[in-house]
Amino acid sequence: MSLTDYTSYRLSVKEYIFYGILGMSAILVISYLFYHSLIPAALFLPLSYLYFKQVSRRLYSKRYNKLCRQFKDSLVSLSASLEAGCSIENAVWEAYLEISVLYSRNSYMAGELISIYNQLQLSIPVEEAFSNLAARTDVDDILTFCEILKISKRTDGNLVSIIRSTASTIEEKFEIRREISTNINGKKFEQLIMSVMPILIIIYIKLTSPDFFNPLYGNIAGIAFVTICLLVYGFSIYLSLKIIKIEV
């Protein structure tokens, strides 16, 4: 049975190496462009904790969205199979096969569905099997579905109707989320361009007029000025990311 904990994200060794190289490269470039020296890069190393924390959040968000989409498709498949007269065990198996085709057998929900199927084969109640998944995730759709499923089993509710209704609600929510994402993709691209534009301008000036920034290097006033500019630049990027971040 899959025991993946979806409530947090831990970077793998490969991810630490990959994103570490990206982060160090960015630090070296910024250090050289703003201070004409690679030595200040060492002063940015304490920020690596915040950097990897932000990377973890982004990867967690990416996994969260994948899990939501796969769970939604799983419920749609479950609903269709149950309405066709399949037992809950066969419906879960059919959902597993469909998810395996859509997303591959290594996808999150493919592993969870085969785990749920194995639990059902051991006569574990369906609500308990899904609760095992809910206990390891903080996805609202999964938590809500499990709570509804528990109440339904206690009150002898119609399982097919509940799964169909829940699948429909989650699908509508997913469509709204996708529409919002589509509408703000253009703004995200604009934000990306505006974020890298100052760096590109500095690189252009350095290539065309190498001595233009020399008065800012090697003196306290110049270092203080470029440091303030760097802080303002960093804060503007942080603020722009906050503005375009929309949760549904």
Name all contacts of 130-135 with Cβ < 8 Å and 24+ positions apart.
132/1
Q: Is the Cα dihedral 217, 196, 242, 21 positive or negative?
A: negative
Query: Is the predicted pLDDT of residue 76 greater than 80, yes or no?
Result: yes
Task: Fill in the amino acid letter for 50.
Answer: L
- Determine the average pLDDT of the residues in 204-215: 86
Task: Fill in the amino acid letter for 151.
Answer: I
- Determine the average pLDDT of the residues in 148-160: 73
Residue 243 contacts residue 195 (beta carbons within 8 Å): no
CA dist., res. 129 & res. 115, Å (int)? 8
Least confident of 4-18, 135-149, 192-206, 223-237: 135-149
CA dist., res. 160 & res. 148, Å (int)? 12
Against a cut of 0.85, is the pTM above it? no
CA dist., res. 6 & res. 60, Å (int)? 8
- pLDDT given at position 1: 44
Least confident of 54-63, 96-105, 185-194: 185-194
Mean pLDDT rounded to a whole number for the chain: 84
Query: Is the predicted pLDDT of residue 2 greater than 50, yes or no?
Result: no
- pLDDT given at position 80: 86
With tokens 């932000």, the residue in question is 54
**C-alpha 183: how far from its chain's center?**
18
* 103-135 pLDDT per residue, tens: 988 899 999 999 999 988 888 888 888 888 888
Residue 133 contacts residue 70 (beta carbons within 8 Å): no
- pLDDT given at position 88: 81
- pLDDT given at position 246: 61
CA dist., res. 212 & res. 166, Å (int)? 63
Query: Is the predicted pLDDT of residue 153 greater than 80, yes or no?
Result: no
Angstrom CA distances, 9 to 54, 79, 139, 152, 206, stand at: 11, 31, 14, 32, 40
Tokens, residue 205:
């000036």
- pLDDT given at position 96: 92
